[in-house]
Structure 1
């Protein structure tokens, strides 16, 4: 079995130092690097610490050697596509969800609205209402009374009122009073 720490860390945009600092208690970037490469044994304790720091299920840090997964083989830079020295595994959006939190939500786009196209899937991560400040100026989905939803750029949070600017041109701000949760967009999946 090999571990997927590097793949998940890079998918979340973290450096070795970021992950080391997020561990409880904090560790060093060198230790994380050794765990990623297998130079240091990945114990159950380390799996739990790193899983918590990455906000994923610790079991998702491991994969069987014989399982073939999608791989990232190149990165598109300003100068064009560049080959990676070592391909890495592409991590599914559902595997990036917090281990102890709610499962990700997905908003399916059926018509062109703003920057979104038909067929797009917007993967969202639920936040508790008190975490809403971290979602300012990001696209969010909110529940509304009667089984309805509001979607748009979170532009305002005052007390229990949350203001969204819908992605369509010319649409007015939507205000939702005391939503049960706020789901912030974390990934866009677009078929070509």
Structure 2
């Protein structure tokens, strides 16, 4: 079994120091680095602490050596594709969600609308409506009465009313009264 701490940490945009500070109780960046590289044994206690800090299931920190995983081999920058010093594992979008939080939702795009193309999958993370301020100016999905949904850029939150600007050209603002949840887009998966 190999540990995937470094891959998950990098996928979440955290430094060694960020992860060390997020552990409860906090630890050092050097300790996290040793656990990532295998220089220090990854005990069950450490797995639970690090998984909680990364907001993933502890089991997702380990991968059987026999299973092949997709690899990130280069990064694209303005100067072109740059090779990594060592490849790292690419994570599935479902592995990036909070371990004890609600599972992500996926919105499938069937027709071109705004910047979205047919076949796109928009991954969304459910939020409590009270946390709507963190989703301002981001694409969101909201439930509406009668089993319908509204999707668009969250532009306003006043009391129980939430305003969305749909992605299509010329569409009017949609206002949803007291939605049960708000799901904010966090990843776009597009087949080429």
TM-score range, shorter chain: over 0.9
How many residue pairs get aligned? The number is 192
Q: For 1:49 and 1:185, how far apart are their aligned partners in 2?
A: 27
User: How far off is 1:18 after superposition?
Assistant: 1.6
* Corresponding residue for residue 188 of structure 1: 188
User: How far off is 1:140 after superposition?
Assistant: 0.8
User: How far off is 1:147 after superposition?
Assistant: 0.5
* Corresponding residue for residue 89 of structure 1: 89
Unaligned residue ranges in structure 1 (runs of 5+): none
Counterparts in 2 of 1:156-167, with a 5 A limit? 156-167=156-167
Secondary structure of 2:48's partner? helix
User: How far off is 1:70 after superposition?
Assistant: 0.6
Deviation >6 Å, runs of 4+ = none
* Corresponding residue for residue 146 of structure 2: 146
What's the TM-score once normalised by structure 1's chain length? Answer: 0.96
* Corresponding residue for residue 36 of structure 1: 36
Question: What CA deviation, in whole Å up to 9, does each residue of 1:83-123 have, x standing for no partner?
Answer: 11110111000111111111110000011111100000001
What's the TM-score once normalised by structure 2's chain length? Answer: 0.96
* Corresponding residue for residue 52 of structure 1: 52
* Corresponding residue for residue 176 of structure 1: 176
Secondary structure of 1:134's partner? helix
Q: For 1:135 and 1:24, how far apart are their aligned partners in 2?
A: 27
Unaligned residue ranges in structure 2 (runs of 5+): none
Q: For 1:5 and 1:165, how far apart are their aligned partners in 2?
A: 38
Q: For 1:12 and 1:157, how far apart are their aligned partners in 2?
A: 28
Q: For 1:51 and 1:106, how far apart are their aligned partners in 2?
A: 24
